[in-house]
Amino acid sequence: MNATELILKKREGKSLTESELRFLVQGYVDGSIPDYQISAFLMACYFRGLAKDETATLTRLMLHSGTVIDLSDIPGIKVDKHSTGGVGDKVSLILAPIVAACGVPVPMISGRGLGHTGGTLDKLESIPGFRSGLSIEEYKNVIRKTGLVMIGQTREIVPADKKMYALRDVTGTVESIPLIAASIMSKKLAEGIDALVLDVKTGRGAFMQSLEHAADLARIMIDIGAEFNKEVLAFVTDMNNPLGVAIGNWLEVVESVECLRNTRGTNDASSDLMEVTYTLAGAMIMIGKKAGTIHQGITKAREAVHDGTAYAKFLELVEVQGGDRDAITNLERYPVSRFSLEVKSAARGTLQSIDPLELGLTAISLGAGRKKVDEAIDPKAGILLKKKMGDSVLPGDVLAMLFTDREEILQEARERIRNAFRISQQPAAPPPLIVSMIDQKGQRSWPPK
């Protein structure tokens, strides 16, 4: 076969056979097909799409490009959660220890930041000493010991996706439903799960900005799960505003720890974050047979936070994976950015919305994300929101704080952040955070009527 001919075939909108897709995937993994040709193939997929059987085949080929982990010797129903990516979305850091504290094993292989969205792996690695690059044997030992494990892709796990994931991030091919589905499901199927709960974001700060596309992506991943005999349950959640108050890796760890400590309260600016977290955790606890319904699972999740067992589980995870426990118990000792700047309002009124896409892109310019595959991240950099949707605003009120080591970006970043806040004289009602729930039976509203 010839890679150029296959690129042309897909460019013309034709379906590739299993052997043709295998040729491309294996060739990219072994180095016989270069980045620039796979970039062209990914762009053709972006514009022309992949048929349902092509998507399933690509998932299977990427899954078996490396090792598929077997966790059958570990008791319990192993359940993971995955988000399609959002701005301020640090749910995994809070959810995983909650669910594990409720007795459901959570094996989690996470990714790095993609496009304007943050990555769980980058957030975890902002914790001094935290090891995300465990071997497969270490991965098994950690989940056996603690009930959860959070790592990145190793060389053995889905190497095809590991390379394509990084390439998509910098070639403008992220927002492709079949490529997203194949990437997510190949990783999740490789980690040894029995079931999966999906958080499919929709809105301005999501890759799937329309509700229709978000639901399509959820259904494709549910269908892929069924082919591999895995139960998959999806929630479509709103991403028209940032989630929580922190955007940036260490800043998001701090907010997550404060939520796990239950020191932020139930009606503060992180309440939207915790509503999504508790819903997803409740579903995982139900699927893991530790609750009869999602609502019973939500109750158990809340109890795990309130009684401190979830926070204790997070500390245990950090310690077992080599992280500095003292950095978590004494958050104020972490290094600070060279520059911080208040972003103040020039208007009076009610905060109607905060553009999550603009804040995500600005956070990258501050150093919290990547513009190139090999670019280093500044874990300290980011944005801290001081106002949320629906809040009253007066001239001079602080809307947000920015943190960076890059002096040259300060003024531009301040204006971009200020312009992301839409203020008017009209009242603002926050939209529902959980838009709908989708499983093999179909899509329905949430909460159930």
pLDDT, residue 114, reads 67
Q: Consecutive sets of 10 residues in the chain, 449 residues long: mean pLDDT of each?
A: 96 97 96 96 96 94 94 96 92 97 95 77 95 93 97 86 85 88 93 95 88 93 93 96 96 96 70 95 98 97 97 98 97 96 96 95 92 81 95 97 96 96 90 93 86
Please tell me whether residue 57 adopts helix, strand or coil conformation: helix
The answer, yes or no, to whether the previous bond of 105 is cis (omega within 30 of 0) is: no
pLDDT, residue 115, reads 67
Domain 3-49 has CATH 1.20.970.10: yes
Rounded to whole angstroms, the Cα distance separating 342 from 413 reads: 11
Buried b (16+ CB within 10 A) or exposed e, 152-177: bbbeebbbbbbbbbbbbbbbebbebb
> Which H/E stretch holds residue 403?
strand 398-404
Architecture of domain 79-155+162-330+433-445: 3-Layer(aba) Sandwich (3.40)
pLDDT, residue 110, reads 85
Instruction: Classify burial at 101, counting beta carbons within 10 Å of its beta carbon; exposed 0-12, middle 13-18, buried 19 or more.
Output: buried
> Domain extents for the chain?
3-49, 79-155+162-330+433-445, 339-424
Domain 339-424 has CATH 3.90.1170.30: yes
How far the first Cα of the chain sits from its last, in Å, is 54
Rounded to whole angstroms, the Cα distance separating 201 from 291 reads: 26
- Kindly list the catalytic residues: 82, 161, 168, 183, 187
SS3 content of the chain, % helix, strand, coil (to 5): 45, 15, 35
Cross-sheet strand order for the sheet of 398-404: 246-247, 382-385, 398-404, 339-344
Q: Residue 346's CB: how many other CB atoms inside 10 A?
A: 11
pLDDT, residue 232, reads 96
pLDDT, residue 267, reads 52
